[in-house]
Amino acid sequence: MDLSQLLIVIVVVAVLVGVAVVVARARSTSPVGRPIAAPPATGLRPKLAKTRSALAGVFGRDTLDDAFWTELEEALIAADVGVETAADLVAEVRRSGTGSPDEARTGLEEAIVELLAGVDRSLHLDGHPAVVLVVGVNGTGKTTTIAKIARRLVDEGRGVVLAAGDTFRAAAVEQLRTWGERIGVPVVAGAAGADPAAVAYDGLRSAREADADVLVVDTAGRLQSKSNLMDELAKIKRVLEKDGGVVGEVLLVLDGTTGQNGIAQAEAFRAAVEVTGLVITKLDGTARGGVAVAVERNLGIPVKFIGIGEAMDDLVPFEPRAFAEALLGV
């Protein structure tokens, strides 16, 4: 075998070895660092079909008589926009001098966009690491929401650590660990029944040691009427702010199917800990999608994300125009 043939053999062997390494990595069963496959992109409109269909019948009328405006206001109230907000929106559209039900639909879209305009909906990631504290009552989809937020942050190239502050439910800790493995981020947890504030602080320390960009802290779901549990949230926030820590966001997760009850929940959580943003989940499964308008208008707390399904990509930033068009579009 001459020198040229030997070189060819060496090159072929090197290529085969490289291919084998790539295949082995692709077949690895380790979930850590393996991204979740993104589902096909879907629009917001089909996700809000239940609320939209509840409103659509009103615009099928032929004339803009008193019955039309009454029916429109009642439909908005049924969609949980709120009595006062529904009345204000209808009055504004009537004043605009629309000449047909279709023009009224367009006018209502614009009125909703204007009502929700001029609000900072960005995720404030102040400090290093930035700290996002996530709170809410039981059953809102809080832990899954945390996973979806973490996935978004990882996709943006940020280093993320999760802290399992729901120490009262072993299932919650395991659920967060599972999500952490799938997304490829570490999860800090304590023993069952451990002090949630201590776990949160351990998470902060681990995030600092890892030079992570963001720490996202889960908390136990709690009824807003339980003052001792609400006091615990305030303690968690105080501990996270020790030693120069900054809690840039306190996100309250609300179940969209509960409608106006979400306002009472938000008021109680805001009294216990400064809520900076709202995440409204399960809007794909309810005809009460107008609650996003009602909660923000009543409380002055911006809606930052809405949940429109169970897939990882089904937590989307709240954008007023896209939301209004999805609710009212033909």
Higher pLDDT, 35 or 287: 287
157 shares a domain with 81: no
188 shares a domain with 84: no
177 shares a domain with 68: no
Structurally, the chain folds into a number of domains equal to 2
CA angle 308, 309, 312 (to 5 degrees): 110
pLDDT for 243: 80
Tokens, residue 177: 């660990």
CA angle 243, 248, 254 (to 5 degrees): 130
**316: in domain:** no
256 shares a domain with 192: yes
Q: How far apart are CA 255 and CA 140, in angstroms?
A: 5
Q: Does the pLDDT at position 4 exceed 80? A: no
- CATH no. for residue 229? 3.40.50.300
Domain limits at 111?
Answer: 45-116
**239: in domain:** yes
179 shares a domain with 250: yes
310-318 mean pLDDT? 90
103 shares a domain with 142: no
Q: What are the distances in angstroms from CA 176 to CA 33, 133, 141, 146, 180?
A: 15, 14, 12, 8, 6
202 shares a domain with 104: no
**36: in domain:** no
110 shares a domain with 173: no
**330: in domain:** no
Higher pLDDT, 201 or 22: 201
pLDDT (tens digit, 9 = 90+) per residue, 95-151?
Answer: 988 889 899 999 999 999 999 999 999 999 989 999 999 999 888 899 999 999 999
Categorize the per-residue pLDDT at 20 as very low, low, confident or very high, splitting at 50, 70 and 90: very low
Q: How far apart are CA 206 and CA 163, in angstroms?
A: 9
CA angle 234, 238, 241 (to 5 degrees): 140
Categorize the per-residue pLDDT at 58 as very low, low, confident or very high, splitting at 50, 70 and 90: confident
Q: Does the pLDDT at position 235 exceed 60? A: yes
Q: What is the DSSP secondary structure assignment for residue 127, as one 8-state letter?
A: B
218 shares a domain with 109: no
Q: How far apart are the first and last CA of the chain?
A: 75
pLDDT (tens digit, 9 = 90+) per residue, 183-214?
Answer: 999 999 988 778 999 999 999 999 999 999 99
110 shares a domain with 135: no
Q: How far apart are CA 200 and CA 220, in angstroms?
A: 12
195 shares a domain with 162: yes
pLDDT for 301: 93
**35: in domain:** no
328: which residues sit within 8 A by CB, 6+ positions away? 52, 55, 105, 108, 109, 112
**19: in domain:** no
pLDDT for 285: 82
154 shares a domain with 240: yes
**280: in domain:** no
**321: in domain:** no
Q: How far apart are CA 59 and CA 71, in angstroms?
A: 10
- CATH no. for residue 97? 1.20.120.140
Q: How far apart are CA 28 and CA 2, in angstroms?
A: 40
Per cent of the chain over pLDDT 90 is: 50
Could you say which of 116, 146, 171 is where a domain stops?
A: 116
pTM, whole model, 2 decimals?
A: 0.82
